[in-house]
Structure 1
Amino acid sequence: MELSDIEDLIEADLEDANATVTHARDEHDDDHLAATVVSPTFEDLPLVQQHQAVYDALGDHMTTDIHALEVSTYTPEEYDEHEA
């Protein structure tokens, strides 16, 4: 599965989402991925529910195509502060 396919799945499922998926840093194989997802969907959701929303967007791909996924989630405001 291509990284862009994973981004597309997340963005299609989460409202106004912007997803960036890369190979995780400090890993020695291509099976470990990292996703940064920015969406207003995460407003007022606990971190666990934010991450669950990303996993839900990927559905069965989490058990068939994706070995490990490190997730970072932000609202647009949080992301702007994070990048500042």
Structure 2
Amino acid sequence: MNADEVAELIESGLEDADVTITHPRGSHDEDHLAALVVSPAFEGKTLVEQHRMVYDALGDHMTTDIHALEVKTYAPEEYEEYEG
């Protein structure tokens, strides 16, 4: 599964999600991905809940097509502070 397909799955499973998929530094394995996900659906959720929402959007692909996924999640306001 390529990065664009992973991004599409997350975006379709989360409200107004803005998703960027990359390969983590030092990783040359196509199955190791990093996801930066910004969505208003994360507002008021714990970090564990946010990550669970991303994994739920990916469904069975996490066990069949994606070997490892590094996840960073932010609500829009949190991301603005992070970027600032």
Q: TM-score, structure 1 length as denominator?
A: 0.95
Question: Contact (CA 8 Å) 2:2, 2:30: kept in 1 or not?
Answer: no
Query: SS where residue 80 of structure 2 aligns?
Result: helix
Kindly tell me the number of residue pairs found equivalent between the two proteins.
84
Query: SS where residue 71 of structure 1 aligns?
Result: strand
The equivalent of 2:76 in structure 1 is 76
Q: Quick one: which amino acid aligns to residue 19 of structure 2?
A: A
Query: SS where residue 80 of structure 1 aligns?
Result: helix
The equivalent of 1:57 in structure 2 is 57
Question: Contact (CA 8 Å) 2:16, 2:39: kept in 1 or not?
Answer: yes
Matches within 5 A, 1:1-84: 1-84=1-84
Structure 1: runs of 5 or more not aligned:
none
Query: SS where residue 26 of structure 1 aligns?
Result: coil
Structure 2: runs of 5 or more not aligned:
none
Q: TM-score, structure 2 length as denominator?
A: 0.95
Q: Deviation per CA, 1:50-73: give whole Å up to 9, x if none.
A: 000000000000000000000000
Query: SS where residue 44 of structure 2 aligns?
Result: coil
